[in-house]
Amino acid sequence: MVKLAAAKLAARTILTKNVIDRLRSEDDMKIGILAVQGDFAAHAARLRELGAATVEVRTVADLDGCDGLVLPGGESTTQLQFLQEEGLYGAIRKFSAAGHAIFGTCAGAILLATQVKNPAQDSLQLLDMTVLRNGYGRQLASDVFFEPCKLTSKPLEMVFIRGPVIEKVGRGTSVLAKHQGKPVLVQNGHVLAATFHPELSPDPTVHAYFLKLAANGSALAKLRCRS
């Protein structure tokens, strides 16, 4: 009985993987990028280099058909106000609840956090972590560092511009990279956040990883819809 149950589970796992792979090949990846502030064009360029289509997101309708969403840098309070005024705040939370991947960089990471300090502000509360705004100071120039990262065997280039500090992460949040002892790249399920700017580095590692999350999340969301 135990062997039979194990065989059925293995067959179901293989079937699910095959369906996911087929869904990936049938549909081109389309990633939405919040286009309010920050270098959203650099995110788009990197994602297109990796083979994904991109769309600028400024309205709820722009999210339709997207497999994932990028929240770029900028000023988090301004972006939060825009999301709330345009109805995107609730739409993004529903987008995440459906299983779609979201990637926030710098200000985008602040928007994803469950708690924001220095000063306190509201957020999307999609990733279990506490973030300090302007945690590395209000530097005007970029600071570039190379640090170990679980996504690659070589040091990852990290470009910081007035980056926030991730003070602590929740139990379900994985730390993928650190700088000065603090998490700078974290993940909780299909939600990914970086306090640096991978779009400003020639290294595509982080965006490539996000596309994998988006592909998996989109495929599983479609499976749920079909069942």
Q: What is the pLDDT of residues 42-93, one digit of tens each?
A: 999 999 999 999 999 999 999 999 999 999 999 999 999 999 999 999 999 9
How would residue 20 be classed by pLDDT, with cut points 50, 70 and 90?
A: very low
Give residue 28's pLDDT: 77
How would residue 38 be classed by pLDDT, with cut points 50, 70 and 90?
A: confident
Domain boundaries, the chain: 30-226
30-226 placed in CATH 3.30.10.20: no
The answer on pLDDT for 9 being more than 70 is: no
- Cβ-count burial 202-224 (b if 16+ within 10 Å, e if not): ebebbbbbbbebbbbbbbbbbee
Phi then psi for 26, rounded to 5 degrees?
Answer: -75, -35
CA 157 remoteness from chain centre: 18
**Active-site amino acid positions:** 106, 197, 199
Hey, how many other C-beta atoms are within 10 angstroms of the C-beta on 61?
10
The model's pTM is: 0.84
In the chain, the percentage of residues whose pLDDT exceeds 70 is 81
Mean pLDDT, the chain, integer: 86
DSSP code of residue 117: E
